[in-house]
Amino acid sequence: MQKRKKKGRESVKMKSIKPAKKPAQIATGGGEVKQPPRCSTHKPITLKTIAWRKRKAKRKSPMSIER
């Protein structure tokens, strides 16, 4: 029997957002690893958030303080 081709968004199932099993690690410039705060609303982490976190990490890293 032939499998039918999935159309468009059919293949993309909406995943329920569950809290992560392992806390995601944000690597900061200083070499230490920070855990993000546990969020009560389990919102997916958007690229915007990641970009903002990276900027924040850069500001707060010991490397930037030395300059």
* Domain residue extents for the chain: 25-36+43-67
Mean pLDDT of the chain: 66
- The pLDDT assigned to 53 comes to 82
Contact 61, 28 (CB under 8 A): yes
Q: How confident is the model at residue 10 (pLDDT cuts 50, 70, 90)?
A: low
- The pLDDT assigned to 61 comes to 78
Q: What is the DSSP letter of 8?
A: G
Measured at the alpha carbon of residue 27, what is the angle toward residues 25 and 41, in degrees to the nearest 5? Answer: 40
Coil, helix or strand for 33? strand
- The pLDDT assigned to 8 comes to 62
- Is residue 26 pLDDT above 60, yes or no? no
